[in-house]
Amino acid sequence: MSAYLAMRRFQSHILAILGPITLGAILSGSVEMIQLYTPSRVCSSLDLMNNILGSAIGVLAGVLLTRIADLPVTGPEFRVRDRRAVALLFCWVSFLVFPLFPVLWLSIWRQKLSAFIHAPLIDPIPILLSAAEWFAVGRLLVAAGVRSPFLWLSGLLVLVPVQFGILNHSPMPADFVGAALGAGLFYFFGKRPGADRFAGWALLLALTLRGLEPFHFEGPAQGFLWIPFGGLLAAGWQDAISILLGKLFQYGACIWLLHLAGLNLLRATVIVTAVLAGIEALQTRIPGHVAEITDPLLAVLLCMGLAALQESRERSL
């Protein structure tokens, strides 16, 4: 995707499309051949094919991103007004489908279906969080300038069952109930005055409840991890990237929706950062949680990113 975005400057569609795929094939082929001489590594034609396919998907993602985010935009469906909203939506969709690799083993399908069947249908906090996220997605679609936001929101709902077929994703009944509830709320209330304020505060409240669950405070305070992104770096890379994409959307959407509701960007960031810091402080006394500095710091970094996107938009105009 990065290679496609870089090669567009040459104004050659053939080079921009075939160049990244060719480079991906050469890079992957070179690495696989070097693995012939590397102990404990295996040269695999399957890896080569997967990497070439990944290069092609990256080019497709780059094409879609430029069609959505660039001005002027061709096509009747999008007339982007807000690049920040598009960036947050991109994080949301990426969170739902990452790592973009299908489940190929029947045993994993059985495990996912068994977990889904035995999970409770009504799980209040996950349902509230899912509903708040999908309502926020609807408002971000409006901010991005989509002509039929409810139609697009309805189309994105397909990504919930699609997760059964994606590695490291296990949708629960609460995800389906929350998504349907969020879409229904958006249909009836999504275009009313104050919808951005409601979306921002509802998502922040749901994140707070999720962070403090099971609301059982006990014993001496646990340790606090002061190393930024320490927990993410200690996790497997696929889980870490998926968690990071989800947090980028959740915290960024809170900040941006509160900003759209009338707060300046700095004040919205201070509110979200303070809430996240309060959650982390309380988690030192909640079993099963790891309190760390990452989430409040991530909100501050998101503020800087949103401000940078806003400045680039103003310069382009």
Range of the domain at 217: 83-316
Is 143 in the same domain as 290?
yes
Over 90: is that where the pLDDT of 12 sits? no
pLDDT in tens, 264-281: 999 999 999 999 999 999
Residues 224 and 162 in one domain: yes
Quote the pTM value: 0.80
State whether 31 and 145 are in the same domain.
Answer: no
- Do 20 and 149 belong to one domain? no
Q: Do residues 4 and 62 touch, judged by C-beta distance below 8 A?
A: yes
Are both 274 and 138 inside the same structural domain? Answer: yes
- Do both 161 and 195 map to the same domain? yes
Q: What is the percent of the chain where pLDDT is above 90?
A: 69
Percentage of residues in the chain having pLDDT higher than 70: 94
Is 62 inside any structural domain? Answer: yes
Pair 96, 64 in one domain: no
229 and 293 co-located in one domain? yes
**Does residue 51 register a pLDDT over 70?**
yes
Q: Is residue 76 situated within a structural domain? A: no
Q: Within this chain, do residues 185 and 38 fall inside the same structural domain, yes or no?
A: no
Query: Is-contact 165 96, C-beta < 8 A?
Result: no
56 and 149 in one domain?
Answer: no
Tally of domains within the chain: 2
Q: Are residues 53 and 129 in the same domain?
A: no
26 and 109 both lie in a single domain: no
